[in-house]
Amino acid sequence: MSPESKQLLIRNKDSELFIGPLPHPEVLREYNELVPTSAERILSMVEQDARNEIAREKRAQVFAFAISVLIVCGAVACAVTGHEKAACFLAGATLLGVVSSFLGRRSPPEK
């Protein structure tokens, strides 16, 4: 095959990955061109979603704290009434759960 008869085909495909709660800025701009207030509305939705998530997490923390306090009170009541093994189990399980929840929240190591 001669060099003149060879054809070189080059294909170039650009791709872009955008991850986050908001659309890519270009997509957001296009939305705003279609409906003039859509970018503002999308930003408002994302902000409201973030506020809801924070409120949900706070409620979960308060609930978990209340349950832990009740279990520790139960452990103290067991210990006072002579059920030391049950008291140790309740207090130990609660402590294990609290410690594991804190250890589980570590961010993954960066590469």
Q: How many domains does the chain have?
A: 1
Within-domain flag for 13:
no
Range of the domain at 34: 25-103
Q: If we measure between CA atoms, which residue out of 104, 74, 96, 97 comes closest to residue 86?
A: 74
Within-domain flag for 8:
no
Within-domain flag for 20:
no
Within-domain flag for 47:
yes
59, 53 contact by CB (below 8 A): no
Within-domain flag for 6:
no
Per the structure block, which two tokens stand in for 93? 């399980």
Within-domain flag for 81:
yes
- pTM, rounded to two decimals: 0.61
pLDDT in tens, 23-65: 888 999 999 999 999 999 999 999 999 999 999 999 998 998 8
